[in-house]
Amino acid sequence: MAQPAATTLLVWTRLLHAADLAGQHCADALRNVGLPPPEWYDVLLALERGGAQRPRDLQAALGKEQYALSRLVDRMVKARLLARTPCPTDARGHTLTLTIEGLAMRAAMWPVYAEAIERALGARVDEEDRAALARLLAPLAEPLGA
C-alpha cells in the first residue's frame, strides 16, 4: 500500500486544523450571544430552502450520520424550531418542517455567523486566494467513489 506524500500529509493536517479552528470560532461567536451552534443553522437553512423534508433526505443533504441528525432534530423540535408531521405518503415516517420560531432563529443567527465566517476566512485570505482555494477544494467536497 502506497503511503501519502509528505506534502499530502501537510495539506491534510492543515486542512483539518483550519476546519477545526474556523468551526470552533463560528460556534464560539454564536454561543457568546446566546445562539445555537452552526449545526442548527445548517438544518434551519436546509428546511427554509427546501421546504418540508423527510429526515433521511435531510441527512443526505447535510451529510450527517443518522444518529447525530436524529438527536439534533429532537433538540430542535423541543426548542420549537422544527415540527414533525406524519408523512402523507408513508404512515411509518414523518416530515420535518420549519416553524415560525425556526425561521426567526435562522434569521437571527445569520448576521453573527456571517461575521464569524468573514473574520475566520474572508479577512485573512484575499479574494484571489479564496477563489483558488474554492477551486482546489471542490474535488474534495465530493463523495469518494466506491
**Residues sharing a CB contact under 8 Å with residue 12, sequence separation 6 or more, in sequence order:** 4
Residues near 6 by beta carbon (within 8 Å), at least 6 away in sequence: none
- Give residue 144's pLDDT: 78
Instruction: Please list, in sequence order, all residues whose beta carbon lies within 8 angstroms of the beta carbon of residue 121, skipping any fewer than 6 positions away.
Output: 22, 130
Which CATH class name applies to 35-122? mainly alpha
* Span 82-123, pLDDT tens digits: 999 988 777 778 999 999 999 999 999 999 999 999 999 999
> For the chain, what is the mean pLDDT?
93
The domain limits of the chain are 35-122
Looking at residue 63, its pLDDT comes to 85
Of the candidates 112, 142, 115, the residue with the CA atom closest to the CA atom of residue 41 = 112
The answer on pLDDT for 138 being more than 80 is: yes
pLDDT band at 23 (very low <50, low <70, confident <90, very high): very high
Q: Which residues contact 81 (CB under 8 A, 6 or more apart)?
A: 40, 44, 98, 99, 101, 102, 105
Question: If you count them, how many residues does the chain have?
Answer: 146
